[in-house]
Amino acid sequence: MKRKAKGKGKKAPKKSGSAGLVKEYFASGQLRSAGRYRDGKKTGVWRFYHRNGNPWAVGKFEEGQWVGTWKWFADNGVVRQVGPFKKGKQHGRWKRYHGGTGMLYDIGRYVDGGKVGVWKVYDKNGKTVRTQKF
């Protein structure tokens, strides 16, 4: 099944009970996302793209909820952040990177969507600039 989004940045409507491969497009015709639906909910691996065609995010859904490790990318293809989800909430060790450089910005853990423990923040040269406890 293919769905083409109509208009700038709009998603195609989902039909209850829909299933199968779905591709959504920007108004320009460039691929915006691709993945599967089961019973009207996102399932399995989904891939999302920047307008320039480079990957924006990749990760997995179960029953419409974010699960497992997700990765986000800057429009130049460099990783922006990486972290796991559990039942739709951030859960586990997360790393974020300075925009488009690949240099670590911060690192810490989430439990059920909230920051916990020690988080470290780094400058663009890799030097620790702040440590926070949650």
Q: What is the pLDDT of residues 76-86, one digit of tens each?
A: 999 999 999 99
Reported pTM: 0.84
- Where the chain has pLDDT below 70, the residues are 1-18
pLDDT for the residue numbered 112: 97
Residue ranges covered by each domain of the chain: 1-63
pLDDT for the residue numbered 19: 80
pLDDT for the residue numbered 10: 42
Q: What are the DSSP E strand ranges found in the chain? A: 20-25, 31-38, 41-49, 55-62, 65-73, 79-86, 89-90, 92-97, 104-111, 114-122, 128-133
pLDDT for the residue numbered 14: 47
